[in-house]
Chain A
């Protein structure tokens, strides 16, 4: 293990850590677009406005 650490630079370790969250992209499972289960096309009525959910911030 110490041999391995000696062979790679600290810069490469940092790059690997940054890339970790992207690994899910390579898994054979679709990403969940909306973890709360909210439909962005749902019609909502707010303050008299008839909007799509996706219009909201």
Chain B
């Protein structure tokens, strides 16, 4: 069932066991799992069926530290959430992403990749993916990895009919849960805002916040303040360890033979370091996206190379006579060090139309990340040179330790952390089952539970974790 207003929903006399906040990939996936298990669930979606400036305005906020996007454009507040604008890149976090790195504090998850692998078949169906192929090592240091360009499933479009037909799922649009109330053991209700006014308190046995990698922290910070710590009793890490995937052009490459690596429809191939290389160099995970360049850039690159390495340039020129389109741009995205200082706070001055404080996001990239970027490109360049597959040029701002450019991609719009998973209540918010520490009936879905970011796009892992949480709750909740 889908209701376009809370008033319409109230007429239906639906009795949910579970209340999910948010209808993005995590919320929709968990709802479908619970609905299939016969558990009545309501999904409260703050937005409507379509994009609107009025709804996005609730996402306004400010940023401090490194340049970041406006918070009302980096995510979407309507049915289907940010699945409505994702590009569709899919890959699951690497095995080593779940493991602690001795050289990077506060890394490591309380679960391993093996814990989510049983759900990857479901994820492939949901995201319409073929099987993932194993990574291919091209040296001791570099793996040729696969990111699958999926059809970029829009969750609302794909599942609207199924949700509407379901007797166990009620999606309620235009209904904003402004805060949760709790007594330090249980969430006792959710305060609602609908039709521009307070709409009373909503109760259910279980609550799952799936409002996104920024909004989950905002909701819980505000709720906890209003309930005097009764919603997140152990709140030391709440809003902290927030992460993105910084993304920049890192250099160029000239390849001896572009056919060496099979590329996707966008002429892209992807490379990452091996676990051994990360450990040896004490760096984080990173991904190099190699994109074929148009020919004019090759001429410039060859001319540049000729100044430095005339013998090499002569060889390259002869190669280019036979194959003109064999140069590439290198884009780099990398794993961020989880830092408590990268955090979401509530604004002291700005509130949204419902009176909820806006987000103040504090975000800075760390020296370890710059080293990861530089050493990562060096590893890739060294591998290509040693194997005579091509040559790499690292952009000057990276080699010289310059500032990050402000006219590039900047980041992936991947919002991770803030309610991270863990066993230490001082450094995490939820346990291995995504249940808020100390609370009996409050769970969190989505990338805000990520302990580390890895280097790949998060939607595949978000969906796998949602399947796992749905499965867990299906066993925990009795109807």
The interface of chain A, by Cβ under 8 A from chain B, is: 41, 43, 45-52, 54-57
CA distance A43 to B309 in the complex (A): 13
Q: Which of B103-111, B271-279, B389-397 contacts A (4 or more CB under 8 A)?
A: B389-397
Q: Quick check: A48 and B393 within 8 Å, CB to CB? A: yes
A48/B386 in contact, CB under 8 A: no
Q: Is the CB of A48 within 8 A of B399?
A: yes
Given contacts A43-B382, A50-B394, 7 further A-B contacts (CB under 8 A): A43-B386, A50-B381, A50-B385, A50-B393, A51-B391, A55-B309, A56-B309
Enumerate chain B residues within 8 angstroms of A51, measured Cβ to Cβ: 308-309, 312, 385, 391
Closest chain A residue to B316, Cβ basis: A55
CB contact between B305 and one of A43, A45, A49 (< 8 Å): that residue: A49
Query: With A55-B311, A57-B309 in contact, is A50–B395 under 8 Å at CB?
Result: no
Say yes or no: A50 contacts B382, CB within 8 Å. Answer: yes
Known contacts: A47-B308, A57-B310, A57-B311. The answer to whether A52 contacts B396 by CB under 8 A is: no
Q: What are 26 A-to-B residue pairs whose CB atoms are below 8 Å?
A: A45-B381, A45-B399, A46-B308, A46-B309, A47-B304, A47-B308, A48-B251, A48-B394, A48-B396, A48-B399, A49-B309, A49-B391, A49-B393, A50-B382, A51-B308, A51-B309, A52-B312, A52-B385, A52-B386, A55-B309, A55-B311, A55-B391, A56-B310, A57-B309, A57-B310, A57-B311
Q: Measured between C-beta atoms, what is the minimum distance from A28 to chain B in Å?
A: 32
Taking CB as reference atom, which chain B residue is nearest A51? Answer: B309
7 smallest CB-CB distances across A and B, nearest first, come from A50-B381, A55-B312, A55-B309, A57-B310, A48-B394, A47-B308, A48-B393
Identity of the chain B residue whose Cβ is nearest the Cβ of A52 in the assembled complex:
B385
Q: Name the CB-closest residue of B to A46.
A: B308
Q: Is B378 an interface residue (CB 8 A)?
A: yes
Kindly report which residue of chain A lies nearest to residue B386, judged by CB atoms: A43
Q: How far is the CA of A49 from the CA of B399 in the complex (A)?
A: 10
Q: How far is the CA of A46 from the CA of B385 in the complex (A)?
A: 13
Interface size on B, as a range, is: 20 to 34
Distance of B134 from chain A, by nearest CB (Å): 27
Q: Nearest A residue to B251 by beta-carbon distance?
A: A48
Q: Within the complex, what minimum Cβ distance (angstroms) separates A51 from chain B?
A: 5
Contact with A along B297-317 (1 / 0, CB 8 A): 000000011011111100100
- Bound together, the chains give a CA A54 to CA B308 distance in angstroms of 12
Binary interface encoding of chain B residues 311-340 relative to chain A, with 1 for a CB under 8 A from any of its CBs, else 0: 110010000000000000000000000000
Is A49 in contact with B382, judged by CB distance below 8 angstroms? Answer: no
Mark B381-415 against chain A: 1 for CB-CB distance below 8 A, else 0: 11011100001111110010000000000000000
Bound CA span A54–B385, Å? 11
Chain A residues within an 8 Å CB radius of B309 = 46, 49, 51, 55-57
1/0 contact trace for B356-396 toward A, CB 8 Å?
00000000000000000000001001101110000111111
**Residues of chain B within 8 A of A49, CB atoms compared:** 305, 308-309, 391-393
CB pair B378–A50 under 8 Å, yes or no, is yes
**Which of B307, B310, B378 meets A45, CB within 8 Å?**
B378
- How far apart sit A57 and B305, CA to CA, in the bound complex (Å)? 12
Would you give the 0/1 interface string for B85-121, flagging 1 where the beta carbon is closer than 8 Å to chain A?
Answer: 0000000000000000000000000000000000000
Residues of B within 8 A of A54 (CB): 311
A53 to chain B, nearest CB (A): 10
Q: Are B308 and A50 in contact (CB under 8 A)?
A: no
Expressed in whole angstroms, the Cα–Cα distance for A48 and B311 within the complex equals 17
Report Cα–Cα, A51/B391, bound state, in Å.
6
* B residues near A46, Cβ cutoff 8 Å: 308-309
CB nearest to A43 among chain B residues: B382
CB distance from B470 to the nearest CB of A (A): 47
Asked if B395 and A48 make an inter-chain contact with CB atoms under 8 angstroms apart, the answer reads yes
A57 to B391, CA, bound (A): 16
- Whole-angstrom CA separation of A56 from B310 in the bound complex: 6
Q: How far is the CA of A48 from the CA of B396 in the complex (A)?
A: 7
In the bound complex, what is the Cα–Cα distance between A51 and B381 (angstroms)? 8
Smallest distance from the beta carbon of B312 to chain A beta carbons, Å?
3
Task: Please measure, in the bound complex, the distance between the C-alpha atom of A47 and the C-alpha atom of B315, giving whole angstroms.
Answer: 19
| Chain B residues whose C-beta falls within 8 Å of the C-beta of A41 in the assembled complex | 386
Give Cα A55–Cα B315 distance, bound, in whole angstroms: 9
- Residues of B within 8 Å of A43, CB to CB, are 382, 385-386
Give bound CA distance, A56 to B309, whole Å.
5
Chain B residues contacting A45 (CB-CB under 8 Å) are 378, 381, 394, 399
B419-443 Cβ-contact flags toward A at 8 Å (1 or 0):
0000000000000000000000000
A21 CB, min distance to chain B CBs, angstroms: 25
Quick one: closest A residue to B379, CB to CB? A50
Measured between beta carbons, the chain A residues less than 8 angstroms from B399 are 45, 48
CA distance A43 to B392 in the complex (A): 12
User: How far is it, in angstroms, between the C-alpha of A45 and the C-alpha of B304 when the chains are bound?
Assistant: 14
Taking A43-B382, A43-B385 as contacts, is the C-beta distance between A50 and B392 under 8 angstroms? yes
A56 touches B311 (CB 8 A): yes
- Considering the complex, give the chain B residue whose CB is closest to the CB of A41: B386
